[in-house]
Amino acid sequence: MQAAAHRPPAPPPRAWTPPTGTLGALCAAARARADELALSAAALEDAARAAAPGPPFATALRGAPGAPVAVIAELKRSSPSKGAINPGLGAARQALAYVDGGAAAVSVLTEPTRFAGSNADVQDAVAALAGRAPVLRKDFLVDPVQLVEARALGASAALLIARALAPGALRDMAVFARGVGLEVLIEVRDRWELDAALAADAAVIGVNNRDLETLRIDLATGDALVPLIPGDRVAVFESGIVGVGDVARAARAGADAVLVGSAVSAASEPTAAVAGLTGVPRAGRPAAAPTAA
């Protein structure tokens, strides 16, 4: 049995403040969409109850040390950092190409203005995959009604961004999601946010190497934080993955999975692009890390 890893002392508590920069603008727009969505909440709840369960998300990403690092391949037509990536991307065809290449899960960006996504993309991907792999609904979710919407669309899981939500709201959103049959990937960028994700009992924790407020990428973020995620959770290394060498770097940090967006969305042969990222053995992490003293 592996010994528990040393976990550095927790940083001093800090007060949460609303996000700024690009993330702040995206969250404000998401709040406006959620307010409109609330007008049809009853119909969404009916649709969510009627939606067939999707394949389990966390289960698809788990694996013993030595098993290949799982690839979550993302459908992304554009982004605030890169502009147009693949404006003509078709969700159904792309999702199938990813899974044919070995993707363990498919992430679908639904944000409509800066990422050119739509809810129909989730529905199309879910229908095309027909249970072969889980679909993650990725957006800037700030209200429980958006989680109901994700389940109604057929998603297996949804993204929650720790920086976008106060710790209490993050925990409430995670609990609500589980109540409607939806798994969550909680995304963090520092130790304080990681502790908030653990307090929300997140089964899947992603470390985003991109600062969504400034859009800068630093792979050292994942190098530092992934080893602190207890081994009984799924750890995902996100952003800045271009080639198999980056997957190997994520594996050395202890990641169970990588989330890759632009590199596979822009590829002329998406099946081959995903296949080229698979097969890297994971190193594993201790089953549990001690809490801070």
The reply to whether 86 belongs to the active site is no
The reply to whether 138 belongs to the active site is yes
pLDDT for 137? 98
Q: Could you list the residue range(s) of the whole structural domain that residue 183 is in?
A: 21-51+60-275
Q: Which secondary structure element, helix H or strand E, spans residue 78, and what is its range?
A: strand 78-79
Kindly state the greatest CA–CA separation across the chain: 52
Catalytic residue among 78, 79, 86, 138: 138
Q: Closest by alpha carbon to 263, among 79, 104, 92?
A: 79
pTM for the model: 0.93
Catalytic residue among 74, 111, 183, 193: 74
Question: Could you count the other beta carbons within 10 Å of the beta carbon of residue 59?
Answer: 13
Query: Is 141 among the domain residues?
Result: yes
Catalytic residue among 107, 209, 239, 265: 239
State mean pLDDT over 47-64: 96
Query: Is 6 among the domain residues?
Result: no
How much of the chain, in percent, has pLDDT values that exceed 70? 94
Residues 134/60, Cβ–Cβ less than 8 Å = yes
Catalytic residue among 149, 183, 187, 193: 187
The H-assigned helical ranges of 51-166 are 57-61, 91-100, 119-129, 144-152
Paired tokens of 112: 């409509």
State mean pLDDT over 153-161: 98
Q: What is the DSSP string of 161-215?
A: EGGGS-HHHHHHHHHHHHHTT-EEEEEESSHHHHHHHHHTT-SEEEEESB-TTT-
Does residue 48 carry a pLDDT above 90? yes
pLDDT in tens, 60-98: 999 988 999 999 999 999 999 999 999 999 999 999 999
Query: Is 114 among the domain residues?
Result: yes
Residues 277/243, Cβ–Cβ less than 8 Å = yes
pLDDT for 7? 63
pLDDT for 10? 66
Catalytic residue among 76, 78, 79, 107: 76
pLDDT in tens, 196-245: 999 999 999 999 999 999 999 999 999 999 999 999 999 999 999 999 99
Query: Is 10 among the domain residues?
Result: no
pLDDT band at 14 (very low <50, low <70, confident <90, very high): confident
How many structural domains is the chain composed of? Answer: 1
pLDDT in tens, 261-278: 999 999 999 999 999 999
- Residue of 15 and 32 predicted with greater confidence: 32
Query: Is 16 among the domain residues?
Result: no
Catalytic residue among 78, 107, 156, 208: 208
pLDDT for 1? 34
Query: Is 8 among the domain residues?
Result: no
pLDDT in tens, 108-152: 999 999 999 999 999 999 999 999 999 999 999 999 999 999 999
* Residues whose CB is less than 8 angstroms from the CB of residue 40 and which lie 6 or more positions away in sequence, other chains included: none
Look up the CATH number of the domain holding residue 136.
Answer: 3.20.20.70
The reply to whether 193 belongs to the active site is no
pLDDT for 21? 97
